[in-house]
C-alpha cells in the first residue's frame, strides 16, 4: 500500500494511491480517522484501518491533480545518517565510528514534497548545493529500547528522501548545523510504501539523476548501519514516535566518464566540498531520486529568494 499526504483546494489530506495515478481520499472512505498521516499513525501504527477502509473503494481523484506534501509534514524528529555507505566514506576521506551510527538532525521546515521546487541558494550565499539520494524510514509504533529483532515491527513504511546539503555552510564548523537545514533544501516523498509491499530494502538500489544523467547508483546493501541497528540505537536514548523519520544515508557518486565535464572535480568554489562525480544543483535542474521497487522522488530546482531582508 502507498499512502500520500497532499493538498487539494487549499486543504490537506491523506490518500491511498491505486495504480499509476488514482487516489482514494481517506476523508471519503474513513472520515473518522484524523486528518494527517502522523496523527493517523498515532492511532493506527500499522495502517491496518487505512487498508481496511480503502480496500476495493473507488478513486476520489487523480494524483496529478493534487500537490504532494512531504510524506509526514510535521514529524517530531528527523534523524539523518552521515557517512553510512562505504562508498561515501571513501569519497569524502572522512572517518566515522564503526561502532555507532553517525547522526545529525534535520527539521521539517526544510522539506518539500515530490514535484515541489527545491530552493537553490542565491550564488552570493552559497554555490555548492548538492543532492543526496537516501531511503527514509517512517516510524509507526512508538517504542524505547527496541531490540534489533523487533525493529521492523516499528516501521510503518518507507519513502525516498533527497537530503539536499549546502556544502559551504556544512563546513563552517564541525557540527553541520545550517548547512543541512536550508529553507526547502530537502525533499521527502512521493509516498509511504508499507513494508509488505516494499519487501527487503537491501536488495533494492538508490539512483539519483540530475537532468536525466545518473549520478548515484548503488544497492542499499552498501549501507553500513542497517535499519534494525538504527532503530535499536536511537531508541536506546529516545522514544521513537509515530511519524518520526530516519533518513538512512547516501551512497557515493558514480565514477564520472572521461568526457563528462560536469562531473569532474571542480575546485573553483572556495570552502566547498566536492567529490568526483558529484554535480551541484542549480536553478532549472530536475533532480530525481529513485529507489527501485519503491518509487521516484522528483523535484525541479528553483532559485531561492534573493538575499534581501524579507518579513513574512
Contact status: 100 vs its own copies (CB under 8 A): yes
Neighbours of 166 (CB within 10 A): 25
Binder to its own copies among 31, 52, 65, 97 (CB under 8 A)?
97
For the CB of residue 176, give the shortest distance to its own copies in the complex, in Å.
6
Binder to its own copies among 2, 38, 106, 215 (CB under 8 A)?
106
For the CB of residue 159, give the shortest distance to its own copies in the complex, in Å.
19
Residues 159-178 that bind its own copies (CB under 8 A): 166, 169, 172-178
Yes or no: say if 215 and 253 are a contact pair by the CB < 8 Å rule.
yes
For the CB of residue 311, give the shortest distance to its own copies in the complex, in Å.
5
DSSP 8-state class, residue 191: E
Which residue, 74, 70, 11, is CA-closest to 38?
A: 74
d(CA 50, CA 32): 11
**CA distances, 163 to each of 13, 94, 126 (Å):** 24, 18, 17
Binder to its own copies among 142, 205, 264, 292 (CB under 8 A)?
142
d(CA 194, CA 246): 15
Yes or no: say if 79 and 44 are a contact pair by the CB < 8 Å rule.
no
Contact status: 123 vs its own copies (CB under 8 A): no
Yes or no: say if 68 and 188 are a contact pair by the CB < 8 Å rule.
no
Q: Which is nearer to its own copies, 258 or 311 (CB)?
A: 311
Contact status: 258 vs its own copies (CB under 8 A): no
Yes or no: say if 34 and 43 are a contact pair by the CB < 8 Å rule.
yes
Which residue, 156, 77, 165, is CA-closest to 127?
A: 165
For the CB of residue 219, give the shortest distance to its own copies in the complex, in Å.
24
For the CB of residue 203, give the shortest distance to its own copies in the complex, in Å.
28
Contact status: 51 vs its own copies (CB under 8 A): no
For the CB of residue 231, give the shortest distance to its own copies in the complex, in Å.
12
Binding residues for its own copies (CB under 8 A): 76-79, 82, 96-97, 99-110, 121, 125-126, 141-147, 150, 166, 169, 172-179, 181-183, 185, 233-234, 236-239, 241, 305, 307-312
Amino acid at each position: 500500500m502507498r499512502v500520500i499526504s497532499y493538498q487539494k483546494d487549499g486543504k490537506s489530506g491523506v490518500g491511498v494511491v491505486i495504480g499509476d495515478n488514482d487516489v482514494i481520499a481517506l476523508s471519503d472512505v474513513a472520515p473518522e480517522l484524523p486528518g494527517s498521516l502522523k496523527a493517523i499513525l498515532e492511532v493506527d501504527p500499522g495502517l491496518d484501518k487505512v487498508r481496511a477502509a480503502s480496500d476495493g473503494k473507488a478513486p476520489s481523484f487523480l494524483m496529478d491533480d493534487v500537490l504532494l506534501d512531504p510524506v509526514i509534514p510535521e514529524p517530531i524528529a528527523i534523524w539523518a545518517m552521515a557517512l553510512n555507505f562505504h562508498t561515501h566514506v571513501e569519497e569524502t576521506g572522512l572517518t566515522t565510528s564503526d561502532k555507532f551510527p553517525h547522526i545529525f538532525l534535520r527539521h521539517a521546515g526544510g522539506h518539500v514534497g515530490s514535484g515541489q521546487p527545491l530552493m537553490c541558494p542565491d550564488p552570493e550565499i552559497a554555490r555548492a548545493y548538492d543532492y543526496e539520494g537516501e531511503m527514509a524510514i517512517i516510524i509507526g509504533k512508538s517504542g524505547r529500547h527496541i531490540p534489533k529483532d523487533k525493529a521492523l515491527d516499528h516501521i510503518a513504511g518507507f519513502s525516498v528522501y533527497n537530503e539536499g546539503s549546502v556544502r559551504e555552510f556544512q563546513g563552517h564548523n564541525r557540527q553541520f548545523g545550517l548547512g543541512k537545514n536550508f529553507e526547502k533544501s530537502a525533499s521527502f516523498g512521493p509516498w509511504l510504501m508499507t513494508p509488505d509491499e516494499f519487501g527487503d530494502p537491501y536488495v533494492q538500489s538508490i539512483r539519483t539523476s540530475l537532468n536525466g544523467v545518473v549520478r548515484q547508483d548503488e544497492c542499499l546493501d552498501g549501507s553500513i548501519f542497517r535499519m534494525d541497528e538504527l532503530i535499536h540505537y536511537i531508541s536506546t536514548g529516545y522514544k521513537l514516535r509515530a511519524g518520526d523519520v530516519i533518513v538512512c544515508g547516501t551512497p557515493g557518486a558514480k565514477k564520472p566518464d572521461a568526457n563528462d565535464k560536469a562531473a569532474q572535480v571542480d575546485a573553483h568554489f572556495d570552502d566547498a566540498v566536492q567529490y568526483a562525480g558529484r554535480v551541484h544543483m542549480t536553478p532549472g535542474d530536475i533532480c530525481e531520486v529513485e529507489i527501485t521497487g519503491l518509487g521516484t522522488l522528483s523535484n525541479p530546482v528553483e532559485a531561492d529568494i534573493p538575499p534581501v531582508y524579507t518579513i513574512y
